[in-house]
Amino acid sequence: MTTRLSVASLALALAAAMPAMACAEHAAKAETAKPVQLAQAAMPAAGQSAATIHLAGPWSRATAPGAKVAGGFFTLSNKGGVADRLIGGSAEISNTVEVHEMAVIDGVMKMRALAKGLEVPAGGSVELKPGSFHIMFIDLKRQLKEGESFKGELGFEKAGKVQVESKGMPVGARTGATEHKH
């Protein structure tokens, strides 16, 4: 019994020491990843319901008369233990809704549709903001004016549909926060 215990302890000690040695350069990364892994183990089925996706601060830029597209921005948080994907949506102001990213293509910053959607990692969050990931409202039905809100729906691979009401911010706004002018 004593022998078996000491062998087991040795194996445990080795198992604990090996990854640490192998990943010394990724130590910081491994530390931040640990809580996520624990969360996954603690609630394996939690990622299956719509309640696990939280959407904060949705906003859009007001559009110029005749503009055909508008951007949508917000922060997505996944409280569940399973990764999910934002795969599309619909909105009352446009005929089409796409999930886009900004990327440097041939040295030029361009936007493109994410064919497989946007991953929201388990226990993590993703920010949709100008110059990065965003929702693209394509083929606008009307002008989006400053201060005006419009309704939409986002589609997630696992969480399903999530309702959203986005507020229109000034043309050229960089965030959804209301600017304080004194």
Q: Report the interface residues with Cu ion, using CB under 5 A.
A: 100, 111, 136
DSSP string across the chain: -HHHHHHHHHHHHHHHHHHHHHTGGGHHHHHHHHHHHHHHHH-TTGGGSGGGEEEEEEEEE---TT--EEEEEEEEEE-SSS-EEEEEEEETTEEEEEEEEEEEETTEEEEEE-TT-EEE-TT-EEEE-TTSSEEEEEEESSPPPTT-EEEEEEEETTTEEEEEEEEEE-TT-SSSSPPP--
Q: Residue 24: what residue type? A: A
Which conformational region is residue 126 in: left (phi greater than 0), alpha (psi within -120 to 50 degrees), or beta? beta
CB of 114 to Cu ion, least distance (A): 10
Residue 72 or residue 123: which is nearer to Cu ion going by CB? 72
**Between 61 and 100, whose beta carbon lies closer to Cu ion?**
100
Cβ distance to Cu ion smaller for residue 136 or 164: 136
Q: What's the min distance (Å) between Cβ of 151 and Cu ion?
A: 20
The least CB distance from residue 100 to Cu ion, in Å, is 3
Taking the least distance from each CB to Cu ion, the nearer of 39 and 111 is 111
- Is the CB of 111 or the CB of 162 nearer to Cu ion? 111
Task: Tell the smallest beta-carbon distance from residue 130 to Cu ion (Å).
Answer: 10
Structure tokens that stand for 125 in this block:
């969050």
Min CB(58)–Cu ion separation in Å? 16
Distance in angstroms between the alpha carbons of the first and the last residue of the chain: 76
Closest residue by beta carbon to Cu ion: 100
Smallest gap from Cβ 182 to Cu ion, in A, equals: 34
Shorter beta-carbon distance to Cu ion: residue 36 or 102: 102
